[in-house]
Structure 1
C-alpha cells in the first residue's frame, strides 16, 4: 500500500517539530550557567546547615592553631 506523499510530508514535519522541541528542552536543561547556579545554590544551602557549618568552622580553627604552633615552636 502506497502512502500519500502529502501525508508523508506532514509526518516528516511533525517529527522535525518534535525533535526541535526536544532539542530546545535539552539545551535549556544543559545550559552551563544554569548548572553552575544550581550547584552554587546547593553548596550554599549545604553550608548554611548548622550541622555542617559549625564543624567546618571548628576544623578551620584547629588547622590555623596547628599552623601557628608549628610556626612559633
Structure 2
C-alpha cells in the first residue's frame, strides 16, 4: 500500500462527508410527507381540470343530486 499524505486523506474524508450530507438532505426533502402530499394534490388537481374529467364529475354530481331529490320527494 502506498504511503498517503494525512492532509490528502483528511481532504478526501471531508469531501466524502460533504457529499454524504448533500445526499441525506436530498433524501430528506424527497421523503418529506408534506411535499409528497403537495405533489399528490397537484397531480389530482391537474387530472380533475381536464375537460373530459370535469364534465364526467359534473354529470355524476348531477345524477347523485337527482337521485337525492327523488328520495326526499318520495318520503
Aligned residues: 73
Q: Unpaired segments of 5 or more residues in structure 1?
A: none
- 2:21 corresponds in structure 1 to 20
Deviation of 1:50 after TM superposition, in Å, equals 0.9
Give a deviation string over 1:5-61, Cα, whole Å, max 9, x none.
Answer: 333222211110110111122223333333232222211211111110011111111
- List gaps (5 residues or longer) in structure 2: none
Task: State the 4+ residue runs in structure 1 displaced beyond 4 angstroms.
Answer: none
What RMSD in Å do the two structures reach over aligned CA positions? 1.8
What's 2:7 paired with?
6
Rounded Cα–Cα distance in structure 1 between residues aligned with 2:62 and 2:19: 56
How does 1:1-73 map onto structure 2 within 5 Å?
1=1, 3-4=3-4, 5-73=6-74
Cα distance in 1 for residues equivalent to 2:52 and 2:22 = 43
Using structure 1 for the length normalisation, give the TM-score. Answer: 0.77
